[in-house]
Amino acid sequence: MNRTAMRASQKDFENAMNQVKLLKKDPGNEVKLKLYALYKQATEGPCNMPKPGVFDLISKAKWDAWNALGSLPKEAARQNYVDLVSSLSPSLESSSQVEPGTDRKSTGFETLVVTSEDGITKIMFNRPTKKNAINTEMYHEIMRALKAASKDDSIITVLTGNGDYYSSGNDLTNFTDIPPGGVEEKAKNNAVLLREFVGCFIDFPKPLIAVVNGPAVGISVTLLGLFDAVYASDRATFHTPFSHLGQSPEGCSSYTFPKIMSPAKATEMLIFGKKLTAGEACAQGLVTEVFPDSTFQKEVWTRLKAFAKLPPNAVRISKEVIRKREREKLHAVNAEECNVLQGRWLSDECTNAVVNFLSRKSKL
């Protein structure tokens, strides 16, 4: 279509402005200056600002670009703006698509949906009928997805849940398939797996963000202390009923939670199993921000897309600086928690709690 023969309407102009916000790639300073100048010309007419001083480089570059348009009529500037934006269209995305998910979808996962788009790798727990309980396969797949995300070209990595739950934590049927070596061997294998699993979160090199779409239980809560930001729907709750299950804290929460929320508040959660609302978890520092469920996805993904446009090296280096001085300590805490849990899994208290759940005598 020959757009120059057309006259861009105010609506075309507004659409073009919205499309600019959704550019996948930075179009470069030259194009950005042109866009700025055309926008100013289209909305205010010829340059009407005093020339900035030579040391104010950015304002001066903008002024030069606008001033260079001379007396170009507003209508023509509007048309040129729309044409310029449309020439950038290969790097635009559909404006209706807010949440990443359609671009590169990784195959080979049974329990996850992993997608990569707009500089964001999204790892979505995908066992909605089991409230996204984490079974052995899922522990392995999450580790595989994190390792791939650490090497791909994304800037940030997001974990979220499919369905009404974020995750109901460890799949309690993990305790049922007993190997030839008996329950001791099972407990040992689980401790090895758990240590490796939590280790992947400690060592993850990019910002890790949790998009907590609904209730979170057990290990899906404790791990949040190792994330860099946690955004929650106001439907989400945070529950670590370890004592009820005859178990003890994991995911480095015995160290991170007292630091994040004070020792007494951590005790209420980790020992007494107090369930927090999203608002309470935010007040205690575990959650970064809470959103109304009706606008949660739209608001959070818009924000994440903006984060993912930040310079990748600066983002990665900053994450390393922040994590560096804690990494050794976190690995030591993880090792100790796994050791303690290995013993707990062999206890009558834990066995009874799991049997009660599996025979539906108890629920949280």
Ligand X SMILES: CCCCC/C=C/CC(=O)SCCNC(=O)CCNC(=O)[C@H](O)C(C)(C)COP(=O)(O)OP(=O)(O)OC[C@H]1O[C@@H](n2cnc3c(N)ncnc32)[C@H](O)[C@@H]1OP(=O)(O)O
119: which residues sit within 8 A by CB, 6+ positions away?
153, 154, 155, 156, 305, 308, 309, 312
One character per residue 250-289, x = contact with ligand X (rule: CB under 6 A): x---------------------------------------
Phi-psi region of 341 (alpha: psi -120 to 50; beta: other; left: phi over 0): alpha
**Residue span binding ligand X (CB under 6 A) among the ranges 177-185, 186-194, 265-273, 279-287:** 186-194
Q: How far is the CB of 11 from ligand X (least distance, A)?
A: 46
Nearer to ligand X, 24 or 274 (CB): 274
Sort 292 into a burial class: Cβ within 10 Å, 0-12 / 13-18 / 19+.
exposed
CB 153 within 8 A of CB 311: no
Could you say whether residue 218 binds ligand X (CB under 6 A)? yes
Q: How far is the CB of 140 from ligand X (least distance, A)?
A: 10
**Residue span binding ligand X (CB under 6 A) among the ranges 19-27, 128-136, 280-288, 298-306:** 128-136
Nearer to ligand X, 78 or 186 (CB): 186
Site for ligand X in 318-357 (CB under 6 A): 357
Residue from 15, 16, 101, 22 nearest 306 by CA:
22
Question: What are the helix (H) ranges across the chain?
Answer: 10-21, 29-44, 57-67, 74-87, 136-151, 182-203, 219-222, 253-261, 263-270, 278-283, 296-307, 312-344, 348-358
Q: How far is the CB of 229 from ligand X (least distance, A)?
A: 22
Site for ligand X in 143-172 (CB under 6 A): 168-172
Could you say whether residue 140 binds ligand X (CB under 6 A)? no
Provide, for the chain, the percentages of residues in helix, strand and coil under a 3-state DSSP scheme, each rounded to the nearest 5.
50, 10, 35
Nearer to ligand X, 217 or 229 (CB): 217
Could you say whether residue 16 binds ligand X (CB under 6 A)? no
Site for ligand X in 233-252 (CB under 6 A): 245, 247, 250
341/247 Cα distance (integer angstroms): 7
Residues that bind ligand X (CB under 6 A): 130-131, 133, 139, 168-174, 190, 193-194, 217-219, 245, 247, 250, 357, 363-364
